Amino acid sequence: AQTVTQSQPEMSVQEAETVTLSCTYDTSESDYYLFWYKQPPSRQMILVIRQEAYKQQNATENRFSVNFQKAAKSFSLKISDSQLGDAAMYFCAYRRSGTYKYIFGTGTRLKVLA
Amino acid sequence: DAMVIQNPRYQVTQFGKPVTLSCSQTLNHNVMYWYQQKSSQAPKLLFHYYDKDFNNEADTPDNFQSRRPNTSFCFLDIRSPGLGDAAMYLCATSRVRGMGTDTQYFGPGTRLTVL
């Protein structure tokens, strides 16, 4: 069975600094998708970034980028120039290609310090 | 704006009293999901629909049922809520793309309190 592990329950970063959130996963599949979702306090979950496993190039979205290491089954999220609005729970998620089911990690709470 | 709407945002029910949570979407997505999320935990998938096809997770209690009368609406029925069912319930949708689906879009959630 596939699993997603986020080993950092909580992280803090100073405003304007860079922070990296870790995620590892376990799968025997070769074709899958990985996601980072952001869930601000009392607000809905939104997609931050998505990575297709068949793509070697790391995905980037403005200040957000990933470090996808397929062999190591690692998928970390880097947030550059952190802003107060980045404070939220961040969930790493996995979906096997050809399926509709997403598997989520336990989340990392990110605090941004002014 | 196209979106996923959940009503109510907050629901209080009594132990054992049936409750229904609703979700609607204007995205015209094929797939709709219901997740249960307890405080500081990962969302736990309860079930999902691909069009009218219902897919129940093996560990979803029988106490939880769902209905999808049309593409736009999906309901979560909790037949006899227990204290352990107090949680945030998230509805999500996604569009079928190729052999899987595109990104999930989430609603704001319904926070259920059981007294």
The pLDDT tens digits of the residues spanning A66-109 come to 999 999 999 999 999 999 999 999 999 999 988 888 999 999 99
Eight-state DSSP code of residue A72: T
Do A100 and B40 count as a contact with CB atoms less than 8 A apart?
no
Do B40 and A43 count as a contact with CB atoms less than 8 A apart?
no
Contact A105, A5 (CB under 8 A): yes
Choosing among B7, B33, B103, which should be mutated to test the A contact, i.e. which has the most A CBs within 10 A?
B103
How many helices (H) and strands (E) are present in chain B, helices listed first?
0, 13
Contact A20, A8 (CB under 8 A): no
Q: How many CB atoms lie within 10 A of CB A72?
A: 9
Chain A residues in contact with B31 by the CB 8 A cut-off are: 100
Instruction: List pLDDT tens digits, range A16-72.
Output: 999 999 999 999 999 999 999 999 987 889 999 999 998 889 999 999 999 999 999
Contact A45, A91 (CB under 8 A): yes
Q: Which of A100, A107, A109 sits opposite B42 (nearest CB)?
A: A107
Residue B110 has pLDDT above 80, yes or no: yes
Q: How many CB atoms lie within 10 A of CB A80?
A: 14
Q: Shortest Cα distance from B57 to chain A (angstroms)?
A: 10
User: Which residues does B6 contact at the CB level (< 8 Å), separation at least 6?
Assistant: B21, B22, B23, B89, B90, B91, B107, B108, B109, B110
Question: A99 and chain B: CB distance < 8 Å anywhere?
Answer: yes
Q: What is the pLDDT of residue A9?
A: 94
Q: Which of A37, A96, A100 sits opposite B31 (nearest CB)?
A: A100
* Shortest CA distance from B109: residue in chain A: A44
Distances in whole angstroms, Cα of residue B106 to Cα of each of A33, A43, A77: 18, 10, 20
Q: What is the pLDDT of residue B15?
A: 96
Strands A108-113 and A10-14, sheet pairing: parallel
Q: What is the pLDDT of residue A65?
A: 97
Q: Shortest Cα distance from B87 to chain A (angstroms)?
A: 13
